[in-house]
Copies of this chain bind each other. A is one copy, B any other.
């Protein structure tokens, strides 16, 4: 038996485009002589469709896609994820299902049992869990069809659910497992994914074909990394990350269990490639091609510019240099150094005159009050307005250059440097931005050395440095990591050896700045806990502040 895995980049709601991709993959699978071609979870509509699922019209379009796919499911079986209707008046009105299409019709449907509802997942918002389990028989083989999370309560010390659907399906003695997934990337996920698939094949003694999405959906990155794992736990094949890929496998070859091929898993390389794909897909799916960003001469905007140039091509990246009276002379030089290296379009607009025009009007109101964060913010907002003016005039999307450390403690100006349609490195701590810069510079100096080594500064008042108001990033970042990624409380973090007053100050800063993060751009998610849809915190909360 020959099985094709189609690891594709779907587009939410683009039924026509998604179906066309699958039809082409079916054609290729047939050409390769495959018996079954497998797509991913909710492949008709894209993942995550979110509240579009509440529209009957949207579900109707998915049903139409399925009907069309059926017409191609001749001389080949098609495994594809899509919503299905719960005909029972009780419970949610939809299931998240995997369909088995053959002989031109829907031959079998298995619903998803375990509905992830944590971090970025909201599946119980829409779906009723399966309460019955069967396998499908095709060409003499019995196949257990599972959907993503269904296999994730195996191989863990902390089971989230009370049922394991594969345990139920084993009653029918399936020959192998197909898992259709939509499992978003983070820098540690590929390792976990292999661990989980392996734990399943070892528990059940049968091989698994695991088909993931690739591509980005706004902030969510899907890395692909689809898997074929033999019953002995050998990774027969791990498909490449971040690219579409169609591969054909012989079941007999997989059952031999004598092949092992995994992709390299370097954290910073994964973050780099994930972000590049994230930018590319955000623009493509919105129908844009060109980006703009403010280039300060510092490391954050430099890294963002390089990632943008790699995603969109240097000819599609435009930067604005906006020195203020507080900018050091090397800021423009360092920025120009990068502009020349990347070969991107630039403009220089000093902001002093515009800032002065604001202060001219505001000074009478501010009489007798000292220069403070107000004036700093005005400068940042002049820059934001200039960036947005070019964005509006030339149809470029403004990229936000804020890093995760700044996002966390609110070190940034709303409607100023926090402007932008997409936050590129908002899930990358400052210390990781340095690693990313080193990775980018591994073969040649792309990011000017000076941008990397100079002390971080917002340059909004004379001689300002980040370290004036924040601890050094190599102390700040681990505290943030423990609080944000690890959900440790203040005492837990203090017990790790950090200064109690500093810990309390940092955690307070994170919590009181929730209002800023509420209004910032979607953040490309590369860590297990990114700001955005996967982290939900009340603005008026009075916890730790």
Contacts and interface: CB of A to CB of B under 8 A. Distances in A.
Given A12-B543, A489-B55, A538 B389 contact: no
A132 B265 CA distance: 46
Contacts of A350: 361
5 smallest CB-CB distances across A and B, nearest first, come from A57-B489, A13-B543, A357-B357, A374-B392, A14-B542
Interface in A100-134: 115, 117-118, 122, 124-125
Contacts of A60: 489
A290 to B, nearest CB: 15
A489 B58 contact: yes
A527 interface: no
Nearest to A393: B374
A61 to B, nearest CB: 8
Interface string A500-535: 000000000000000100111110000000000101
A170 interface: no
6 contacts: A51-B536, A51-B537, A218-B540, A281-B540, A353-B361, A388-B414
Nearest to A220: B538
A444 interface: no
Interface of A: 11-14, 17, 46, 48-52, 54-58, 60, 88-92, 115, 117-118, 122, 124-125, 158-162, 216-218, 281-282, 285-286, 347, 349-350, 353-354, 356-358, 360-362, 365-366, 369, 372-374, 377-378, 381-382, 384-386, 388-390, 392-393, 414-415, 419, 421, 487-492, 515, 518-522, 533, 535-544
Interface centre among A159, A217, A378, A536, by most chain B C-beta atoms within 10 angstroms, is A536
A46 B286 CA distance: 39
Contacts of A353: 357, 360-361
A447 to B, nearest CB: 26
A376 B260 CA distance: 60
Contacts of A50: 536-538, 541
Contacts of A91: 159-162
A357 B389 CA distance: 13
Contacts of A286: 539-540
Given A11-B542, A56-B487, 9 more contacts: A12-B541, A49-B541, A55-B543, A60-B489, A90-B159, A91-B162, A117-B117, A281-B540, A362-B386
Given A55-B489, A91-B162, A522-B518, A361 B386 contact: yes
Contacts of A281: 540
A538 B350 CA distance: 37
Contact of A354 (B354, B519, B543): B354
A159 to B, nearest CB: 5
Contacts of A374: 389, 392-393
A267 to B, nearest CB: 24
Given A125-B118, A490-B57, A543-B12, A538 B385 contact: no
A370 B150 CA distance: 56
Given A51-B537, A415-B388, A89 B158 contact: yes
Interface centre among A14, A52, A92, A369, by most chain B C-beta atoms within 10 angstroms, is A52
A73 B417 CA distance: 53
Contacts of A520: 519
Given A58-B489, A361-B353, A369-B393, A541 B13 contact: yes
Contact of A415 (B55, B385, B533, B538): B385
Nearest to A392: B374
A51 B536 CA distance: 5
A491 B125 CA distance: 25
A13 B542 contact: yes
Nearest to A391: B374
Contacts of A218: 538-540
